[in-house]
Structure 1
Amino acid sequence: MKDILIITSYYPPETGAASNRIFHLANGLKKHNFNVSVITPLPNYPTGAIFTGYKGKFKHITTEKGINIFRLWIYASNSKNKLLRLFAMLSYSFSLIWVFTWNKIPKTVIIQSPPLIVAYTAVFFLRSKQRKLILNVSDLWPIAGLELGALKKNFSYKILERIERFNYKNADLILGQSEEIITHVKSFFPKKNTFLYRNYPDFKPLEIIHKIKSKKKLTIVYAGLLGVAQGIYKLLQHLDYTNIEFHIYGNGAEQYKIISFVKNNPNLPVFYHGEITREELHSALLQYDVTVIPLLNRIYGSVPSKIFEYARLGLPIIYFGGGEGESIIKANALGWIATAGNYNDLNKVIAKIKPFEMDIELKQKIKETALKNFDFNTQLSNLIEKI
């Protein structure tokens, strides 16, 4: 049985794409007879506060589903203050250094990036000929930070670029969640060993049930992080509500803005349902006609994992984010494309979709496409050949 360590900043009971991605990877490797250990901070995302049951602890060690989980101290914060957020990342990095100093580390290590500085800490201290470092790149920082407006091209940005390239250079294998990420890495290191590792989910999809619609309005749902990048608050302000209902699940930085909007606009068909478990969410999503996947700005290298998860449920998608995600939607006939950032175009696309068109045959076709083209286990088996 081969030992393997995964270093990540996100893991259940935290929710979200990053947490789910690493959980499925760890669980999949365990099923393939790897002895899997995970190092992660004490759970705090996305609230920026340590979860109940973990507060006041320097570390928390458990074995969950046969996976050894080492949760380390972190100064938890989701403050908009850049210095506080930097200190939060550095605090986890200090905890990692403490572990590296006093514990035996397996010869194969998977390192999640971003956060860029956390990945740098792991790569810097673990690089050696005796270890194989696998860098799992899910977003391109610092480019993504620049496109989101979180970073500016200054001296600090240049330092982050140097850190990014150091990580790529010293990794033995780089996993990229998009073709754009792979292309970006190859632009610096053409001979670097890379592997396209999409954020495919690993769950048994529920049966699609045909429901007779009693309403003439199209029911649209958004479920996920209510962050600045997703732009749900701005979306609420620009939607044409004439023939739609809009339902929202999740939490994040814009949560209270959204709650306030719903409260202050009682005549609009907008409904906020809070955050529920992933299993509950999958059941809830089946009652809606379509889902919308927006990004406030097109982010190079980013492909929302919701595409693969909701397609697996058979839920048609309105994609409003640009980039590589558009190509995936089109190539697999998963739904409709609206021009990124153009709310008039989004409303025109929505207006063309009729509720009676959302029949069980369409949803079943999308589900079958996802099961065939976005298979987690096939992808994992191909990855294991490279580990």
Structure 2
Amino acid sequence: MTDILIITNYFPPETGAASNRIFHLANGLQKHDFKVSVLTPLPNYPTGKIFDAYKGKFKYTSTKNNITIHRLWIYASNSKNKILRLIAMLSYSFSLCWYFIWNKLPKTVIIQSPPLLVAFTSVLFLRSKKRKLILNVSDLWPIAGLELGALKKNFSYKLLEKIESFNYNHSDLILGQSNEIISHVTSLFPKKDTFLYRNFPDFVAPKVSESTLSKGKLKIVYAGLLGMAQGIYKLCQELDYTHVQLHIYGGGAERDKIQALIPNNSELDIVYHGEISRDKLHEALISYDITIIPLLNRIYGSVPSKIFEYARLGLPMIYFGGGEGESIIKDNQLGWVAESGNYSELNNVISKINTSELNLKLKETIKESAIKNFDFSTQLDMLINKI
């Protein structure tokens, strides 16, 4: 049995794509006879507050699915203040350093990036010819920060670029969840060993039946983080509701604004459902006609994991985020595409959707495509051969 350590900023009971991705990876490796341990902060995402069950703890160790989970102290914050966010990252980095000093570590370590500083701390302390470091890159920072408007090209940006290069250079294998990420890494380090590791889901999808097909208005659903990058608040204001009803699940920075918007604008046909567990969410999602996957701005390297999860559910999609995600939707015939940020085109695309096409046959076809092209087990087997 091979020991392997995963260092991540997100892990259940936290919700979201990053948490799910790392949990499925850890669980999959454990099923393949790896002895898996995880280093992660005390749960705090996306609220920026330590979850009640973990308050007052400096470290908490537990076991789930034969995975040992070490939760370390963090100064939790989701503040827009960059100084406070930096302090939060540095606090977790400090906890990691303390852990590295006092504990024996496996020879194989998977490090999640971003956050860049956490990845940098891990790579800096753990790089060794006797240890294999695997960097799992889910988004390209600092490029993504620049495109989101969170960063500017100044001294800090150049410093982050140097940190990014250091992380790539001193990793033995780099996993990228998009072809754009792989291309970026190899443009900097042409000889670097890389592997395309998508965020494929690992769950049994609920059965879709004719009874889940709605009548009347087209029921569109968004489920996920209500953050600045997704732009759901703006989407709520820009949609044409003549023949559309929008349903929203999730939480995040824009939640309060969306909740305030709905009762004061009766012409906006929006239903906010709050946050529910992932299993219950899957059951709820299949009752809608289509789902929408938006990004406020096209982000180089980003491929929303919702594409693969919703395909497994057999849910037709409208993709409104640009980049590599568009090609995945088109190539696998998973739904419709509208130009990122172009709300007129989005409304035009929606208006042309023939509701008679949103039938059981379409949903089953999408599920079959997901099983064939987005199989978690096949991808994991290929990764294990690289480790």
Does the alignment reach a TM-score above 0.5?
A: yes
User: Match of 1:236?
Assistant: 236
> Does the 8 A contact of 1:77 with 1:84 survive in 2?
yes
2:206 and 2:215 map into 1 onto residues whose CA distance is: 24
Q: 1:136 to 1:268 in 2, by over 3 A?
A: same
User: What SS is found at the alignment partner of 1:225?
Assistant: coil
2:214 and 2:287 map into 1 onto residues whose CA distance is: 12
User: Match of 1:30?
Assistant: 30
User: Match of 1:123?
Assistant: 123
1:315 and 1:103 map into 2 onto residues whose CA distance is: 45
Q: Unaligned stretches of 5+ in structure 2? A: none
User: What SS is found at the alignment partner of 1:264?
Assistant: coil
User: Match of 2:284?
Assistant: 284
Counterpart residue type for residue 133 of structure 2? L
Deviation at 1:267, TM superposition (A): 3.7
1:214 and 1:93 map into 2 onto residues whose CA distance is: 49
User: Match of 1:139?
Assistant: 139
1:201 and 1:213 map into 2 onto residues whose CA distance is: 24
User: Match of 1:210?
Assistant: 210
Deviation at 1:355, TM superposition (A): 2.4
After superposition, residues 21-100 of structure 1 pair within 5 angstroms as: 21-100=21-100
CA-to-partner distance for each residue in 1:96-117, whole Å, 9 max, x for gaps? 0000000001000000000000
> Does the 8 A contact of 1:114 with 1:138 survive in 2?
yes
Counterpart residue type for residue 38 of structure 2? V
Deviation at 1:215, TM superposition (A): 3.0
User: Match of 1:169?
Assistant: 169
2:68 and 2:34 map into 1 onto residues whose CA distance is: 12
> Does the 8 A contact of 2:293 with 2:318 survive in 1?
yes
Counterpart residue type for residue 71 of structure 1? R
User: What SS is found at the alignment partner of 1:53?
Assistant: helix
User: What SS is found at the alignment partner of 2:56?
Assistant: coil
2:219 and 2:233 map into 1 onto residues whose CA distance is: 18
CA-to-partner distance for each residue in 1:25-65, whole Å, 9 max, x for gaps? 00000000000000000000000000011001000000111
> Does the 8 A contact of 1:199 with 1:308 survive in 2?
yes
Deviation at 1:376, TM superposition (A): 0.3
Counterpart residue type for residue 290 of structure 2? V
Deviation at 1:266, TM superposition (A): 2.7
1:314 and 1:344 map into 2 onto residues whose CA distance is: 27
Task: Determine if the alignment matches structure 1 residue 258 to structure 2 residue 270.
Answer: no
Task: Determine if the alignment matches structure 1 residue 342 to structure 2 residue 375.
Answer: no
> Does the 8 A contact of 2:212 with 2:287 survive in 1?
no
User: Match of 1:318?
Assistant: 318
Deviation at 1:206, TM superposition (A): 1.1
User: What SS is found at the alignment partner of 1:215?
Assistant: coil
User: Match of 1:293?
Assistant: 293
CA-to-partner distance for each residue in 1:85-132, whole Å, 9 max, x for gaps? 000000000000000000001000000000000000000000001100
User: Match of 2:13?
Assistant: 13
> Does the 8 A contact of 2:77 with 2:85 survive in 1?
yes
> Does the 8 A contact of 1:216 with 1:355 survive in 2?
no
1:168 and 1:268 map into 2 onto residues whose CA distance is: 46
> Does the 8 A contact of 2:127 with 2:133 survive in 1?
yes
1:299 and 1:92 map into 2 onto residues whose CA distance is: 26
Deviation at 1:213, TM superposition (A): 5.4
2:263 and 2:12 map into 1 onto residues whose CA distance is: 31
2:215 and 2:13 map into 1 onto residues whose CA distance is: 37
User: Match of 1:380?
Assistant: 380
User: Match of 1:332?
Assistant: 332
> Does the 8 A contact of 2:61 with 2:71 survive in 1?
yes
Deviation at 1:357, TM superposition (A): 1.8
User: Match of 1:148?
Assistant: 148
User: Match of 2:364?
Assistant: 364
2:48 and 2:351 map into 1 onto residues whose CA distance is: 39
TM-score w.r.t. length of structure 1: 0.99
User: What SS is found at the alignment partner of 1:263?
Assistant: coil
User: What SS is found at the alignment partner of 2:53?
Assistant: coil
2:264 and 2:357 map into 1 onto residues whose CA distance is: 32
> Does the 8 A contact of 2:321 with 2:340 survive in 1?
yes
> Does the 8 A contact of 1:218 with 1:354 survive in 2?
no
Deviation at 1:305, TM superposition (A): 0.1
2:216 and 2:165 map into 1 onto residues whose CA distance is: 53
1:332 and 1:357 map into 2 onto residues whose CA distance is: 17
> Does the 8 A contact of 1:217 with 1:355 survive in 2?
no
1:224 and 1:282 map into 2 onto residues whose CA distance is: 12
User: What SS is found at the alignment partner of 1:94?
Assistant: helix
Counterpart residue type for residue 325 of structure 1? G
Counterpart residue type for residue 220 of structure 1? I
Counterpart residue type for residue 7 of structure 1? I
CA-to-partner distance for each residue in 1:279-309, whole Å, 9 max, x for gaps? 0000000110000000000000000000000
